Amino acid sequence: MQCPNCGHEQAANESPEPNFFRPWHIRGRNSVRQYVESLGEEANEWLLALYIDEYFQLLAVDTVARGDVGSCIVPFRKIFSRGHSLNAHGFLLVHNHPSGDPTPSRPDIEVTKRLFDTAKNIEMPLVDHLIIAGDRMHSVMLCEVYRAAPSSRPGQADAPYLTVVE
């Protein structure tokens, strides 16, 4: 039998390779950066949600909002209802800054705090919120301004991207 796409001929005693699903595993911020690298070159703001299971394997990536050059409206309900429909154990947000500066703005920090608190209450944690600008990336949740707020759970200081901010 010959494949019509590549021309490979299968021998009579050769069994076809099984098609295994190999989920993409999030191994850190840099792996997310590589996955969404092209976002840094966009002329308008885009907001993506990456939904993960309990093993940090990617379930889905959704474009949850598109904005203009300097802003993007964050649809909380859309983010959370999609996560619940996937039975996600958490999610990451990634958005771009067309200005080329990945430093979180005050609204970025405030929205991240609100999303984090809401996500904590519905037991689908916001794992991180990353900003991509050109070839640079910044975590909102590692920002000093974000981290300055006290944690409501003891022992979370050494895991700033999971710190509860009130």
pLDDT in tens, the chain (166 residues): 666 656 666 666 655 555 545 567 777 777 888 888 888 888 999 999 999 999 999 999 999 988 877 677 888 999 999 999 999 999 999 999 999 999 998 888 889 999 999 999 999 999 999 999 999 999 998 877 666 654 433 333 333 332 222 2
Asked if residue 3 is part of any domain, the answer here is no
Asked if residue 4 is part of any domain, the answer here is no
| Edge-to-edge strand ranges of the sheet holding 90-96 | 58-66, 46-52, 90-96, 126-133, 136-139
CA dihedral over 71, 77, 78, 83, signed as positive or negative: positive
Which segments of 53-96 are extended strands (E)?
58-66, 90-96
Asked if residue 70 is part of any domain, the answer here is yes
Asked if residue 9 is part of any domain, the answer here is no
Asked if residue 158 is part of any domain, the answer here is yes
CATH code: domain of residue 144: 3.40.140.10
What's the whole-model pTM score?
A: 0.73
Angle (CA) 23-41-79 rounded to 5° is 50
Asked if residue 12 is part of any domain, the answer here is no
Domain with 128 in it: 29-162
Number of domains making up the chain: 1
Asked if residue 131 is part of any domain, the answer here is yes
Asked if residue 7 is part of any domain, the answer here is no
